[in-house]
A = this chain, B = another copy of it.
């Protein structure tokens, strides 16, 4: 179907996502992807060297979306402490919505994440950079104390301290009734630590 369109990496990635969504990470095959696209599986291998590379690219695309969704919170108006809380809240809300809205898709995603730790490491770096930018502004505004070491290390500490509220490994805990309170408590702990 739609065999008239040229076969691009982009179209293959979309089809792969659909197949992963439909069959899950264990049963999604390259043959399935090719079938969705109406081509032979050999054609898929023209764009991606291996099945692993294809899955990695999907993972990357997926994570990239989170980064993009958070940009507005990095560039928001207002004092840096509020922006930090806004950013952390947005990240938690985003992850929680995904996990709660489609638990199966989340499970699929978690498998992909487990397979591609290098991609995840780079993703975490990006998130830490977003925190660091807010922290720098806060320091400039006189809201946050000078970091003990460098801003990046502090940003990483903030990221690690809130890990329980964005790491998919903890997705199961996010539906607990006191998850919101626990999140608020950790954020206010972090805010007190940063305060000038």
- A contacts, CB < 8 Å to B: 145, 148-149, 153-154, 156-158, 160-164, 167, 169-170, 181-182, 185-186, 188-194
Contacts and interface: CB of A to CB of B under 8 A. Distances in A.
B170 A164 contact: no
Tally of this chain's copies: 2
A157 B189 CA distance: 7
Nearest to A182: B160
5 contacts: A156-B185, A157-B186, A161-B161, A161-B190, A163-B163
Contact of A153 (B185, B190, B194): B185
Contacts of A186: 157, 160-161
A181 B145 CA distance: 20
Given A160-B164, A161-B161, A163-B164, A190 B188 contact: no
